[in-house]
């Protein structure tokens, strides 16, 4: 009787109202509602931690606790029974109202792949609109071009000599000495020079792009650029893409020249095929479209390397470990993209039966 005399209603909620006020200094840990109102207003220090939904309208009472002086929540006995449907509803609200796909998030490789496409579109739009940071572009052009010449030419020379060893001895046995220069020229101009140059640039420049932008991302330097009013795409990504697309064609032409020279010297010194014969055969076999296609390929490869490396860099997570993983995956995906693009471009550029070597036989 004494406890009943101290009972007083805490709140009474109905599903019709859009606004609900919770008063008193009570701490409500679990609140069960029939119809969840659209807005709560907690006055006078009232606190609430979790909201549960029930199927019936309920009235709550607060009974003062004689031990610590804080009120405790009391629910009528007839309101504590619930059906199986109500139990499942309460469990759903206890789990935060989760649905089937509430915790699903797309895989990281999926949204990273989408970031490559989005970044490529942003770069194209900014180039068309003339939003180019020329100082950074010249710095990146110097880095991709002149500072990469040495390793590219060295690689092209040894690849050319190795390629010469594999087939010149067979051509000599068949008596096709005058076809050696044409085969070398076509192989270097159409496939070897753009692909080898792009592989070297992907390992040297693509990894540097991914590591730099990844470090800037995890250290929040890209956020600092946004605070200062500079767009990271304009300041960091677009100069690297432009520099790669400009430098790769020139590197490809130089690699083609060095590869042909090294092959001719090796054929003359080891197999006794005159350099004049090789150069004359190459001149007869080569056409202007062969060199143009090589430059187009190298431009596409440069765009692939720079965009993938920059996209993987700006989406880096996880500190130093994430930077290393982004760098590795950027180089691997750049190489895969180069090989796929090389097949697609070769299929488009060189269809049907060729007649380039008929003048060299």
Report the distance separating Cα 153 and Cα 330, nearest Å: 24
State the greatest distance between any 2 C-alpha atoms of the chain, in Å, as a whole number: 119
pLDDT of res. 245: 94
Strand extents, DSSP E, the chain: 8-12, 20-22, 27-33, 40-42, 47-53, 59-64, 71-74
pLDDT truncated to tens, each residue of the chain (361 aa)? 344 444 444 444 444 444 444 444 444 444 444 444 444 444 444 444 444 444 445 555 555 555 555 555 554 555 554 444 455 554 554 555 555 556 667 777 787 888 889 999 999 999 999 888 889 999 999 999 899 999 999 999 999 999 888 888 888 777 777 888 888 888 899 899 999 999 999 999 999 999 999 999 898 888 888 888 888 888 899 999 999 999 999 999 999 999 999 999 998 888 888 888 888 888 888 888 889 999 999 999 999 999 999 999 988 888 888 898 999 999 999 999 999 999 999 999 887 656 666 666 6
Backbone angles phi, psi at 32, to 5 degrees: -110, 130
Long-range contacts of 351-356 (CB under 8 A, 24+ apart): 356/182, 356/186, 356/285, 356/286, 356/287, 356/290
The residues with which 74 forms a beta bridge, in sequence order, are 61
pLDDT of res. 69: 57
The residues with which 333 forms a beta bridge, in sequence order, are none
Give CA 169 to chain center in angstroms.
46
Report the distance separating Cα 85 and Cα 105, nearest Å: 29
Q: Which residues contact 292 (CB under 8 A, 6 or more apart)?
A: none
Structure tokens at 137: 């572009």
Report the distance separating Cα 254 and Cα 271, nearest Å: 25
Strand extents, DSSP E, 112-223: none
Give CA 33 to chain center in angstroms.
46
pLDDT tens digits for range 161-180:
998 888 888 887 777 778 88
CA angle (80 as vertex; 76, 84 as ends), nearest 5: 160
Strand extents, DSSP E, 65-214: 71-74
Q: Which residues contact 351 (CB under 8 A, 6 or more apart)?
A: none
Structure tokens at 199: 């592989």
pLDDT of res. 14: 42
């Amino acid at each position: 009787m004494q406890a009943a005399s101290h009972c007083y209603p805490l709140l009474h909620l109905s599903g019709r109202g859009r606004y609900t006020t919770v008063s008193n200094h009570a701490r409500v840990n679990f609140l069960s509602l029939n119809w969840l109102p659209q807005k709560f207003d907690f006055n006078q220090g009232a606190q609430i931690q979790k909201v549960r939904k029930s199927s019936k309208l309920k009235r709550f009472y607060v009974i003062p606790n004689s031990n610590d002086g804080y009120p405790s929540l009391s629910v009528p006995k007839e309101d504590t029974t619930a059906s199986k449907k109500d139990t499942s509803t309460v469990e759903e609200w206890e789990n935060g109202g989760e649905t089937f796909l509430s915790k699903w998030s797309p895989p990281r490789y999926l949204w990273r792949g989408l970031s490559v496409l989005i970044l490529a579109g942003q770069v194209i739009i900014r180039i068309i609109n003339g939003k180019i940071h020329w100082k950074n572009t010249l710095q990146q052009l110097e880095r991709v071009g002149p500072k990469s010449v040495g390793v590219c030419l060295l690689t092209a020379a040894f690849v050319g000599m190795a390629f010469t060893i594999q087939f010149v001895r067979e051509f000599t046995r068949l008596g096709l000495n005058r076809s050696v220069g044409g085969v070398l020229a076509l192989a270097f101009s159409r496939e070897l020079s753009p692909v080898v140059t792009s592989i070297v640039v992907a390992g040297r420049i693509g990894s540097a792009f991914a590591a730099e932008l990844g470090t800037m991302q995890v250290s929040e330097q890209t956020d600092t650029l946004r605070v200062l009013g500079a767009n990271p795409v304009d300041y960091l990504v677009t100069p690297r893409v432009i520099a790669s697309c400009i430098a790769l064609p020139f590197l490809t032409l130089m690699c083609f020249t060095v590869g042909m020279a090294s092959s001719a010297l090796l054929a003359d010194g080891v197999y006794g095929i005159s350099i004049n014969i090789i150069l004359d055969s190459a001149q007869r076999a080569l056409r202007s479209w062969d060199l143009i296609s090589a430059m187009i390929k190298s431009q596409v490869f440069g765009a692939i390397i720079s965009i993938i490396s920059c996209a993987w860099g700006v989406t880096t997570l996880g500190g130093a470990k994430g930077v290393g993983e982004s760098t590795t995956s950027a180089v691997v995906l750049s190489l895969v993209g180069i090989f796929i693009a090389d097949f697609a471009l070769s299929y488009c550029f060189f269809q049907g039966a060729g007649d380039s070597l008929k003048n060299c036989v």
